[in-house]
Structure 1
Amino acid sequence: MSECIKVLNELLVDTFNDILEIEQRALQSGSFNDISVTEIHTIHAIGMYIPRTMTEVACSLNITLGTLTIAINNLVKKGYVQRQKSQTDRRIVNIQLTKKGKLAYRVHKKFHTDMVKATIKGLTEEEEGILVKSLEKLNVFFKSKYNLKTNLKEISNE
């Protein structure tokens, strides 16, 4: 294995693990110490403004409806999410964030914004472009290799 591949592998694995660890620590030490990283990512998938169906959120997270139901039950108990029957079709249950859930969403989004700003701090526009292109290639590889949907549009619209 070339030295470049070895270093990149270590950096990617370490960075991924560090992000998860830092997110968990930030949650535990902050106002949202009653939720996990998985739950904050569920909150993020629900989004701020438009109520979503359970199926939509499960698809966004690439998890089963049963797995999401358990997560939503916990988030409802903790006061982050509320369920609401559709006005047009009573069989459909929409989920949306409560005021507390929206605050958690904003704090999590700021964490990610700060992380990205720190990543590109001091880079030239050309270096930023190279970093973006490289990460896009990595993202496309993972999505195509494991048949995951691409969320680049969703990410760029947040």
Structure 2
Amino acid sequence: MNANDIISLISKIREKVNKRLITEMERYGIEGIATSHGDILHALNHRSRMTMAEIASVIGKDKSTVTALVEKLVRLEYVAKERNTTDTRIIYVTLTPKGEELKPVFDKISKEILDAFYAGISEEEKKILFRLLNKIYSNL
């Protein structure tokens, strides 16, 4: 096994997880959003109000990409935007009541996928996997 095999496998895992996420969201009646939208909604579930820059940092996307993703979520009425009253360059994003309704569904989907992801993997193996993936991430 060489580095390309590992990169290919990680890419395939990410692709499978993303497909599963989309399938599960559709099963729960959530349509029209991609996994990147889910990243934003997930971030807002943990911090109720974030700037575009904070969201970009948390989900690892550039601000222009986040802006486009947020605009779609605004159109779908999952999030709302508001300008800072003292510095109008700063835009805050918050979940709407419709967006808040997704939290229990996303929690359930997340648990189902993590249960499948870690099936047959011991706690010790999870720790080793996490440590190794963090080491690879730090190396890059």
* Secondary structure of the corresponding residue to residue 47 of structure 1: helix
Contact 2:43 2:55 in 1 (8 A): yes
Q: 1:131 to 1:10 in 2, by over 3 A?
A: farther
Question: Percent same amino acid at aligned positions?
Answer: 21
Q: Give the CA RMSD over aligned residues.
A: 2.6
Give the unaligned 5+ runs of structure 1: 147-158
- Aligned mates of 1:99, 1:48 — CA distance in 2: 15
| Offset, 1:111 | 1.1
Match in the other structure for 2:22: 24
In structure 2, C-alpha distance between the alignment counterparts of 1:61 and 1:81, rounded to whole Å = 16
CA distance 1:42–1:50, change in 2 (3 Å): closer
1:143 to 127, 137, 140: 137
**Aligned length, in residue pairs:** 137
Q: Report if the CA contact (8 A) 2:83-2:91 is conserved.
A: yes
Moved over 6 A (4+): 8-11
Kindly tell me: are residues 9 and 82 of structure 1, through their superposed partners in 2, closer, same or farther at Cα, counting changes over 3 Å? closer
TM-score (norm 2): 0.79
Match of 2:48 among 44, 47, 50: 50
| Structure-1-length-normalised TM-score | 0.71
Question: Structure 2: 5+ residue runs without aligned partners?
Answer: none
Aligned residue number for residue 134 of structure 1:
128
Alignment partner, residue 61 of structure 1:
59
Q: Comparing both chains, which one has the higher relative contact order based on Cα–Cα distances under 8 Å and sequence gaps of 6 or more?
A: 2
